[in-house]
Chains A and B, each alone.
Chain A
């Protein structure tokens, strides 16, 4: 597909047939081309293993499905191969607490 003599091991893993996200099984560099279920995707930023990519285009407000269940909702349209994380989805339960929020909290405390 990318013309390599030996094809590198798949970079992403699908956890359930119903999922609209896949999981990175190795760290990938910015600009790296990877195969997301038949579609070639160029990554804008470096991402560590365990991060989620959209397995297909996802509309804003759509449920994000991992392990075959909803783990939250998209907060914007996400293209196939887009990073599915704090900037593009949110919990349907509790807000996620991040380093930045932690710093804001400490500063205002």
Chain B
């Protein structure tokens, strides 16, 4: 355990943030434009855009927005509703206000239309930016940190350099008391046995296997798995090959719990996030793109995300910073400005796995202490939230639960 910083943002539930973001949230696609216009003048001042596009209510989306608007990196929230959509805007507003954060709701139909709503929202944001400067600042240690990991734009180098290097970093972060979350059960297809044997209890091991089998069924119905055309161009041939490379991000720690989107780790340790919906296949693909998975990691409390890429993804995220670990040395030379870590040096004999792992730990601690990542500097604030359905996890998924 070590002190990350002395000026973390203390929230009323005791959790601590490494950023102090104002989130402007549209509650249906029809209010997206107004929300975006409210954010625009403040985009370089820590004001981020988030939202849910659907008009039909969905309990997963509500649960996700509660988790995201009360995330420790969020200091205040402005909700933007058209007025006739199905989202429970009052319920969400109460939950945010209950967390002690400044929160406001603009209903466009009541506020007098587009222009009036934008002016109302901007006035609130302007005043609130000043207000949240007085949030209590406290010391934060490594055992209060939650780190997620994801790979995107994978190629044949991802599973050799960046993913195992993130695994090395995850092992060290877990040792420092942090909670580390890896995800995408669909990218563990073919590795069921290896993963389940790492569970802290046999019951959890069976739950992990079930979650991967569920992903295999789901993807079989949909016709193809978590395998994009760029993966094949980059030399990956099969789902199980991609899975072996992807699973190395998790390192070697025992797996101490299974989470679903919005569930928070109960203590430090390594967790698997099950992103594939429960029940019959509906609403289409589990996650339509990488930013949707990053948002689910953030909904589980991740303060920051380690993103491994071989082909060269550029994304960041709203709410929590993303650290880009580039697996492919040729990609790094081409897209250096988007990357934080050059893990491809391992392939060219210019660094060892242990050295790059240590660099990732150092970048994680620096980012937690306030340093900007490449995607933050470039203004990336991707946010994707769609329809899903989940059953709550059972007790076997939290053997170490408090």
Contacts and interface: CB of A to CB of B under 8 A. Distances in A.
Interface stretch (B1-9, B59-67, B151-159): B151-159
A94 B220 contact: yes
Contacts of B224: 94-97
B141 interface: no
Nearest to A92: B240
Given A89-B237, A96-B232, A71 B190 contact: yes
5 contacts: A23-B160, A49-B329, A67-B244, A72-B241, A89-B238
B168 to A, nearest CB: 16
A96 B239 contact: yes
B159 A49 contact: no
A26 B225 CA distance: 28
B244 A9 contact: no
Interface string A9-32: 100010100000001111100000
B330 to A, nearest CB: 7
B227 interface: yes
B190 A27 contact: no
Contacts of B310: 50
A25 B350 CA distance: 13
Nearest to B219: A94
Given A23-B160, A49-B156, A67-B244, A72 B233 contact: no
Chain B CB within 10 Å, residue with most, of A89, A96, A102: A96
Contact of A93 (B194, B229, B232, B239): B239
A51 B228 CA distance: 16
A49 B330 contact: yes
B347 interface: yes
Interface residues of A, number: 36
A97 B238 contact: no
Contact of B189 (A9, A51, A84, A94): A94
Nearest to B236: A50
Given A50-B310, A94-B225, 15 more contacts: A23-B156, A47-B235, A48-B156, A48-B330, A49-B235, A49-B347, A51-B235, A66-B244, A84-B237, A90-B237, A91-B238, A92-B240, A96-B227, A97-B227, A98-B232
A69 interface: yes
B235 A50 contact: yes
Main SS at interface, chain B: loop
Contacts, number: 116
A91 B240 contact: yes
Given A94-B225, A98-B229, A52 B237 contact: yes
Contact of A72 (B220, B229, B234, B238): B238
A85 B238 CA distance: 9
Contacts of B239: 91, 93-94, 96
A85 B235 contact: yes
Contacts of A84: 237
A26 B238 CA distance: 21
A70 interface: yes
Interface string B348-370: 11000000000000000000000
B304 interface: no
A67 B159 contact: yes
B216 interface: yes
Contacts of A72: 237-238, 240-241
B233 A99 contact: yes
Interface in B321-347: 328-330, 347
Interface string A41-71: 0000001111110000000000010110111
Nearest to A105: B223
Given A50-B310, A66-B244, A97-B228, A71 B157 contact: no
